[in-house]
Homo-oligomer: A and B are copies of this chain.
Amino acid sequence: MSQPETRAETRAETRADTRADTHRMLITIEYDGTGLVGWQRQNNGPSVQEYLEAAAEKLTSRKTPIQGSGRTDAGVHASAQAAHLDVPTRLTTHAVVNGLNAWLNCPQISVLTARRVGQDFNARFDATERSYLYRILDRRTPSALRRHHVWHHRTKLNVEAMQKAAQYLIGNHDFTSFRATGCQANSPVRTLNSLSVTRLEDEIHIRAHARSFLYHQIRNFAGSLALVGTGKWQAEDIRMVLEACDRTKAGPTAPPQGLYLTEIEYPPESLAQK
């Protein structure tokens, strides 16, 4: 999830890197986070960014940094992460998608689309909304087929109570109670555009939309909403937890494998090629 940085500084670096013979591409990427350390390059294991940058270097025959819209944690999935990179002008969008997929040395990652954008476009700073889905399987027995793709909760959850509780979290709030201790964001205040809890067969789906999120914010929402779903907490308790601005008052952090980054939105003007 997005980390604070000086936008002006990053823009300057980006410009210095831009060569006359390249154009900028916005790509969308699907990945299965199982066994990966997350989006961002790290020393302790394989990351999505590392695999993609290796593929891009093969495709373009030069070092090609790839800037994502934000980080995702180890084990977290994406159905459509967004990122930008600069490629030689001879490469069409079709060649970028097929070329990256052909060079990707990891079947857990797939490039879905590419689109030409202006040289100033930035996948991280231009994003106006980030969407996530958190999937909970609430049944007695574990799922063999979905074992890496849902949080398995052994008792049935009350979806109506969870949906009611979610309403207290929507809007502009200090989300300290749902923020991981390691969060590097300057401010715990965020605006949650929407948060919904619905049932789809044997799963409960929590969908969250905001310009940006704090570290572990959605997994912490899921952990607390599940407590409401069990009946241990009332829906109204979520408001008190939120107002306490105290991480110890909220529920546990739900595990990473239930979380999916599903969409990054950009305003049309940021996508236009100037």
Contacts and interface: CB of A to CB of B under 8 A. Distances in A.
B142 A101 contact: yes
- Considering residues A32, A107, A144, which has the most beta carbons from chain B within 10 angstroms of its beta carbon? A144
B144 A32 contact: yes
A89 interface: no
Contacts of A77: 145
Interface residues of A, number: 21
Nearest to A31: B144
Interface stretch (A2-10, A108-116, A207-215, A229-237): A108-116
A79 B97 CA distance: 33
Interface in A74-112: 77, 79, 97, 101, 107-112
Contacts of A143: 30, 110
A274 interface: no
Given A97-B140, A142-B101, A32 B111 contact: no
A101 B152 CA distance: 14
A140 B111 CA distance: 10
Nearest to A48: B144
Nearest to A139: B112
Contacts of A109: 144
A141 interface: yes
Contacts of A97: 140-141
Contacts of A32: 144-145, 147
Contacts of A147: 32, 107-108
A149 interface: yes
Contact of A30 (B30, B31, B145): B145
B140 A108 contact: no
A142 B79 contact: no
A114 to B, nearest CB: 10
A27 to B, nearest CB: 11
Given A97-B140, A140-B97, A79 B110 contact: no
Nearest to A109: B144
Question: Nearest 8 CB-CB pairs, A to B?
Answer: A110-B144, A30-B144, A32-B144, A32-B145, A31-B144, A110-B142, A108-B144, A112-B141
6 contacts: A30-B145, A31-B145, A77-B145, A108-B144, A109-B144, A110-B141
